[in-house]
Amino acid sequence: MADAVLKLTLPAGVERLLGAVRDAGGRPFVVGGAVRDALLGRPVKDYDVEVYGLPAPRLEAELSAAGRMDAVGQAFTVYKVSGLDGLTGAIQNQAA
């Protein structure tokens, strides 16, 4: 399993958001339930993204440009983005 490559098909809006974050200098990684569900062959219901290398103000600007962005959390900020093409719920982003 260590040599396996997971091919995760992402909705168009999520692909565009990840591309915008990369273009801005960030390194986004899809994590959490989406990866688990894809590995188990289950339908993916939600997407969580961990973002490295992008200051919070720049990440907020990229997320806001992609859809409706809400910041939540007290110990650390989690950004929820909704209104992305091909996704009925929100995608959650965390700056690392």
pLDDT tens digit at each of 96 positions of the chain = 556 677 788 989 899 999 999 999 999 999 999 999 998 989 888 899 999 999 989 999 999 998 888 888 878 888 888 888 887 766 666 666
CATH architecture, domain 12-95: 2-Layer Sandwich (3.30)
Q: What is residue 62's predicted lDDT score, i.e. its pLDDT? A: 92
Q: What is residue 52's predicted lDDT score, i.e. its pLDDT? A: 95
- Of 87, 66, 38, the C-alpha closest to 79 is 66
Map out the domains of the chain as residue ranges: 12-95
Listed in sequence order, the residues at least 6 apart from 71 whose beta carbon sits closer than 8 Å to its beta carbon are 60, 77, 78, 79, 80
Q: What is residue 92's predicted lDDT score, i.e. its pLDDT? A: 66
